[in-house]
């Protein structure tokens, strides 16, 4: 960092340089940064003196980058954009006036979004932000107000309230279900095309687990379409690509709408559930408390 300090003299010079290079004008850079044009010219001259190379070709009303200036601008513009994004995030965290709910894509699309109208009607003053993720969130490190986790409600780092018990049954489009005329017993499902969920970072039951629960252990589930996101699995099932896992709390409305059908008589109550979690170490703001209480009030029946 000592060498960087010697080469650049002041971080302000980089900001002046980036604005002038992007806008092609010292005057417009000064207007954007709300300073006088001589201040921009002086900063650029000092930066060029420190680096011992010209950064701009100067014309009467505009400036263009030299090859050295283009090299510097390509890195400086990216670095400043990253710093800006980080500063925005830290600033927003400091304001602490919104509530972040971390969920899977499928939970967001098929459980939360259909309820957003009712939530906004009940709490129009709350800025609720859904953050989708393919892994379980670190509530403290990521400053997340609330999250949804699959498990048994016994986490050391957070409180938990049950939102929905885990109930799984086979689902398919109405056309695929009607065409599967031999589904008189669970083993016959092995002859149908199956859609598999293979999430890279979250532990989820598999078709093998479901068949084992029903006493079918002598044959492995057939090969089929394999996807890494449950929202994609549901899209594939609705498109007629085969049979998929149907988590009851996510698929209930899709079944009611006729987009999917289910063999609910083959339901597997796993004993696990999907839990609303919040940190034991972070104090909840009042808005987050209201979101938590609303979600618990709208939880699926056990």
Residue 19 phi/psi, 5-degree rounding, is -65, -45
Q: Which domains does the chain have, with CATH numbers?
A: 2-95 (1.10.10.10), 97-302 (3.40.190.290)
> 227 near 233, Cβ under 8 Å?
yes
In contact, 252 and 106? CB cutoff 8 Å = no
Place of tokens 């089929």: 224
Strand partners, 225: 195
Stretches where the chain sits below pLDDT 70 are: 1, 7, 88-96, 302
Q: Which two tokens stand for residue 38?
A: 């001589």
Q: Which residues contact 176 (CB under 8 A, 6 or more apart)?
A: 237, 240, 242, 243
pLDDT of 200 reads 78
pLDDT score at 60? 79
Q: What are the φ and ψ backbone dihedral angles of 32, each rounded to 5 degrees?
A: -65, -40
User: Where is 68: in which H helix or E strand?
Assistant: helix 67-95
Distance of CA 40 to the CA centre of its chain: 40
Return the beta strands (E) in the chain as ranges.
Answer: 56-58, 63-65, 99-103, 128-132, 146-151, 158-172, 195-197, 225-227, 244-247, 261-262, 268-279
Contact 237, 243 (CB under 8 A): yes
pLDDT, position 94? 53
Q: Rg of the chain over CA atoms, in angstroms?
A: 28
Query: Model pTM?
Result: 0.67
Number of helical H runs and strand E runs in the chain: 12, 11
Q: Which residue has the tokens 């044009």?
A: 37
Do residues 234 and 106 lie in contact, with contact meaning Cβ atoms separated by under 8 Å?
yes
Write out pLDDT tens, residues 55-65. Answer: 999 987 889 99
- Cα angle value 97/103/104 (rounded, 5°): 150
């Amino acid at each position: 960092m000592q060498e960087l300090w010697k080469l650049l003299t002041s971080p302000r010079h980089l900001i002046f340089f980036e604005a002038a290079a992007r806008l092609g004008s010292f005057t417009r850079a000064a207007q954007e940064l709300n300073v006088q044009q001589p201040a921009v010219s002086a900063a650029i001259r000092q930066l060029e003196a420190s680096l011992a190379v010209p950064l701009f070709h100067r014309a009467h009303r505009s400036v263009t980058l030299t090859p050295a200036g283009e090299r510097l601008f390509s890195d400086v513009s990216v670095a400043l954009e990253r710093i800006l994004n980080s500063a925005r995030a830290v600033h927003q965290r400091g304001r602490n006036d919104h509530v972040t709910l971390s969920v899977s894509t499928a939970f967001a699309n098929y459980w939360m979004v259909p309820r957003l109208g009712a939530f906004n009607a009940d709490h129009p003053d709350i800025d609720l932000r859904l953050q989708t993720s393919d892994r379980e969130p670190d509530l403290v490190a990521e400053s997340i107000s609330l999250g949804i986790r699959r498990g048994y409600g016994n986490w050391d780092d957070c409180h938990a309230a049950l939102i929905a018990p885990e109930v799984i049954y086979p689902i398919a489009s109405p056309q695929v279900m009607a065409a599967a005329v031999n589904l008189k017993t669970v083993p016959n499902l092995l002859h149908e095309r199956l859609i598999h969920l293979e999430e890279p970072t979250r532990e989820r039951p598999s078709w093998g687990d479901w068949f084992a629960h029903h006493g079918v252990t002598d044959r492995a589930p057939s090969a089929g379409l394999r996807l890494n996101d449950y929202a994609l699995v549901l899209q594939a099932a609705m498109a007629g690509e085969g049979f998929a896992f149907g988590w009851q709390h996510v698929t209930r409305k899709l079944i009611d709408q006729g987009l999917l059908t289910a063999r609910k008589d083959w339901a597997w109550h796993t004993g696990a559930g999907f839990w609303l979690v919040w940190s034991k170490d972070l104090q909840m703001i009042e808005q987050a408390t209201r979101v938590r209480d609303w979600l618990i009030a709208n939880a699926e029946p056990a």
